[in-house]
Structure formats: structure tokens, C-alpha cells
């Protein structure tokens, strides 16, 4: 309960925990945050994910998706960061839904990768 970030989940699975209950992926989506995994960089001083704040000005004109390697509906359909920035900034429910789908898809992908490498 309460374990939420991809780093927390990765560390907990290394200790044998395999069941989690957390609202963080959806809560972060409501605040314009998307997760992007980088499992290959997991070292003691590197996180296995990055938080992308789509409300930042740098995303206002970005034509790239959240994660070009992701297969979630938001990335697969190539919704740009600029479009997602606009949706979230204007409090359009579509933006929150797309970010929620992306974050949940990212968590599912994380668990699949953890099982694959375990």
C-alpha cells in the first residue's frame, strides 16, 4: 500500500513483493505528469524512469510523443506533447485520460519487464 513510483515498485519486487495498490499513476496524470521508463539505466544513482511534466513551457511546442517507444494509445496515435500540454492546461478531460492510459500502460510494461529479467 502506498508504494507508487516505478523506482519503488522495482525495488519492492527485488525484495519479493509482487502486489501493489497505489493511485500515483492516475494522480500524476491529473497533474500533467507522464512517466517514461528507462529500465536499462537502473544503477544505484539513476532512476529507472523520468517524470515528464507536460505543463512545462518546453512541451508547449514539442511535436514528439511522450515516449516514441511506447505502444499506449496516447503515444501510438502520436498525440504530441504540445497537444497534451494544451489539453491538460485547458483542463480538458481527454488530456487526463490519455496521460492516465499512458501511465498505467507504463506500469504494466514495467511489471512485464521485471518478470522478464527476473
Q: What is the pLDDT of residue 85?
A: 98
Q: For 52, which DSSP code?
A: E
- From the CA atom positions of the chain, what is the Rg in Å? 14
| Residue whose entry in the numeric block shows the C-alpha cell 491529473 | 30
pTM reported for the whole predicted model: 0.88
Q: Which residues of the chain have pLDDT under 50?
A: 42
Amino acid at each position: 500500500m502506498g508504494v507508487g513510483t516505478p523506482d519503488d515498485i522495482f525495488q519492492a519486487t527485488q525484495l519479493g513483493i509482487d502486489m501493489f495498490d497505489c493511485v500515483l499513476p492516475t494522480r500524476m496524470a491529473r497533474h500533467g505528469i507522464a512517466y517514461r521508463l528507462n529500465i536499462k539505466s537502473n544503477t544505484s544513482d539513476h532512476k529507472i524512469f523520468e517524470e515528464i511534466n507536460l505543463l512545462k513551457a518546453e512541451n508547449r511546442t514539442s511535436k514528439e510523443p511522450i515516449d516514441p517507444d511506447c505502444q499506449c494509445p496516447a503515444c501510438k496515435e502520436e498525440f504530441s506533447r504540445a497537444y497534451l500540454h494544451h489539453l491538460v492546461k485547458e483542463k480538458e478531460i481527454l488530456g487526463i485520460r490519455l496521460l492516465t492510459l499512458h501511465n498505467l500502460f507504463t506500469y504494466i510494461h514495467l511489471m512485464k519487464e521485471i518478470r522478464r529479467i527476473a
